């Protein structure tokens, strides 16, 4: 059971890196789009964790985010948390150019149903995350303005 979860997690983690890589390669025509995947995938996961804390803060009045910002040096905490995701991402995917073979394999298998489904789900995950964050910010603003 745990091994299946890790397989699923790694597959989607690699696909998250691939989606950022492909986006910046195709639409922005960057010369080194793999750097965007290396930076943005851990940043995206960290963003989601902060979004969950924000959700708890807004809807359940847990005051987790407020307590962290008042008690700790939150900038250090965010940078440290980013590097907790960044270092394994680099070591497992980008160290020694492993990403080239992995992304090339994804490109060749792109027409397979499983790879298309994973790609589609990853893009949906990115869009839903952005949408939920905007909804949370609007709701929090309305709560603060109108009580």
Write out pLDDT tens, residues 66-116.
787 778 887 888 899 999 999 999 999 999 999 999 999 999 999 999 999
Total of domains in the chain: 1
141 domain-assigned: yes
Distance CA 45, CA 59 (A): 21
Structural domain containing residue 16: 2-24+34-146
Exposure b/e, 62-86, CB count within 10 A at least 16 = b:
eeebeebeeeeeeeeeeeeebeebb
64 domain-assigned: yes
66 domain-assigned: yes
Distance CA 17, CA 21 (A): 6
HSE value, Cβ hemisphere, 13 Å, CA-based, for 5: 2
Helix (H) or strand (E) holding 129: helix 113-146
75 domain-assigned: yes
pLDDT of 35: 93
pLDDT value at 132 more than 90 = no
Distance CA 138, CA 145 (A): 10
29 domain-assigned: no
pLDDT over 90, % of the chain: 61
Confidence grade of residue 143 (pLDDT, cut at 50, 70, 90): confident
Structure tokens given for 54: 């924000």
91 domain-assigned: yes
pLDDT of 123: 96
63 domain-assigned: yes
Q: Which of 29, 42, 28, 123 is nearest to 90 (CA)?
A: 42
**Please, which residues have CB within 8 angstroms of residue 111's CB and are 6 or more apart in sequence?**
none
Question: Model-level pTM?
Answer: 0.87
pLDDT of 144: 83
- Mean pLDDT of all residues in 21-42: 92
């Amino acid at each position: 059971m745990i091994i299946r979860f890790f397989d699923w997690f790694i597959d989607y983690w690699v696909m998250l890196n691939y989606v950022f890589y492909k986006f910046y390669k195709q639409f922005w025509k960057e010369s080194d789009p793999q750097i965007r995947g290396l930076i943005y995938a851990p940043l995206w996961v960290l963003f989601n964790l902060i979004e969950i804390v924000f959700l708890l803060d807004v809807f359940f009045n847990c005051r987790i985010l407020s307590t962290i910002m008042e008690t700790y040096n939150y900038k250090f905490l965010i940078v440290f948390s980013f590097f907790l995701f960044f270092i394994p991402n680099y070591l497992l995917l980008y160290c020694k150019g492993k990403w080239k073979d992995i992304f090339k394999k994804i490109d060749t298998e792109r027409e397979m149903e499983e790879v298309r489904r994973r790609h589609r789900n990853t893009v949906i995950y990115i869009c839903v995350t952005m949408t939920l964050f905007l909804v949370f910010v609007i709701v929090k603003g309305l709560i603060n303005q109108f009580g």
